[in-house]
């Protein structure tokens, strides 16, 4: 089997496995399934959960698309490359409870008919209220999976996540970060195609291992109307990031992908209040103060 078919199948399996784990912890919601085709070739399977017990709205997208290389990508590929193949999984989950963080994960593989090939991906956590222990556990889990492949992965990819998941116009990180990587090439010699595919697949497992326990930990805790309002405002920032900066979203909107699959990342409800500022010494203010780059979450406690 050629590599692109192998990774495509592996991602498709991972999608099924992730949805099953999330449904089991949710206990009520079921993922809907839509298959779609892209104009230029290939397509995808979008799985969305709405109105679950824990998850208000969430999507686990799989896609494997091919076509001509768009103009703005030509700097990244060899002169002989005319066609690309890209496959990936994209996840965003918005729980009902403001005590459970929003989470995002993406892993992807790109290759051309001219011999280019690279991997990209990332996971980041967006708590409505930052709980230091949870952020530490999250980063520890990511570091552990990174270290199995290369001890340089975690520090480099953690920094990249801080820079990427950042609302520049507010000078505010989206959440407590995580890892982000792109243009990771098997051709660089250090890693084979299979090794980098395994790294991506390990990340999909880590995603489940870190998020399902967070759902379980907080799903039965009650929360106040004030906490819910704060959640809606933080979701507003999430919408700002996705529509203004997120590469996948902007790429999807510009290339006229399937809109409902691209924008499944937006929450069911969000809010913007003019000039809102949390009061000093409030849990909301404590969280805002931690939405900064370059915090070492591993050592925080």
Give the residue with the Cβ less far from its own copies, 183 or 272.
272
Active site residue 193: no
**Residue of 230, 260, 262 lying closest to 246 (CA atoms):** 262
CB of 126 to its own copies, least distance (A): 16
CB of 277 to its own copies, least distance (A): 10
Give the residue with the Cβ less far from its own copies, 33 or 216.
33
Sequence-separated (6 or more) residues with CB below 8 Å from residue 191: 149, 150, 184, 199
Per residue in 180-213, is it b (16+ CB within 10 Å) or e — as a string? Answer: bbbebebeeeebebeebbebbbbbbebbbebbbe
Binding site for its own copies (CB under 8 A): 32, 34, 48, 50, 57, 59, 168-170, 232, 236, 239-240, 243-244, 253, 256, 259-260, 262-264, 266-275
Give the residue with the Cβ less far from its own copies, 74 or 170.
170
CB 178 within 8 Å of CB 122: yes
Give the residue with the Cβ less far from its own copies, 46 or 157.
46
**Residue of 12, 3, 1 lying closest to 201 (CA atoms):** 12
CB of 127 to its own copies, least distance (A): 21
CB of 228 to its own copies, least distance (A): 12
Catalytic residue of the set 76, 94, 96, 104:
104
Report CA 43 to chain centroid distance, whole Å: 20
At residue 26, what are phi and psi to the nearest 5 degrees? -65, -45
- Positions annotated as catalytic residues are 104
């Amino acid at each position: 089997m050629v590599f692109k078919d192998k990774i495509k199948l592996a991602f498709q399996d991972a999608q099924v496995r992730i949805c099953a784990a999330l449904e089991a912890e949710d206990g009520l919601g079921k993922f809907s399934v839509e298959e779609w085709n892209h104009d230029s070739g290939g397509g995808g399977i979008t799985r969305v959960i709405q109105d679950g017990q824990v998850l208000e709205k969430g999507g686990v997208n799989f896609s494997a698309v091919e076509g001509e290389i768009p103009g703005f990508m030509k700097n990244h590929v060899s002169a002989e490359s005319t066609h690309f193949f890209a496959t990936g999984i994209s996840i965003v989950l918005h729980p009902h409870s403001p005590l459970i963080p929003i989470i995002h994960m993406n892993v992807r593989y790109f290759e051309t008919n001219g011999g280019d090939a690279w991997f990209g991906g990332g996971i980041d956590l967006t708590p409505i209220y930052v709980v230091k222990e949870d952020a530490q556990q999250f980063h520890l889990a990511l570091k552990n999976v990174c270290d199995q492949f290369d001890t340089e992965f975690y520090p480099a990819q953690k920094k990249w996540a801080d820079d990427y998941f950042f609302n520049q116009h507010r000078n505010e990180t989206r959440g407590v970060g995580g890892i982000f990587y792109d243009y990771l090439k098997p051709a660089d010699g250090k890693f084979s195609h299979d090794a980098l595919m395994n790294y991506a697949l390990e990340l999909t497992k880590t995603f489940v291992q870190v998020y399902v326990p967070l759902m379980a930990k907080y799903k039965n805790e009650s929360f106040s109307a004030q906490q819910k309002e704060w959640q809606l405002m933080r979701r507003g920032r999430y919408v700002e990031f996705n529509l203004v900066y997120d590469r996948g979203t902007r790429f999807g909107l510009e290339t006229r992908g399937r809109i409902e699959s691209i924008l499944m990342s937006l929450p069911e409800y969000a809010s913007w209040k003019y000039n809102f500022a949390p009061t000093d010494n409030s849990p909301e203010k404590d969280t805002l103060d931690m939405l900064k780059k370059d915090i070492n979450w591993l050592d925080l406690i």
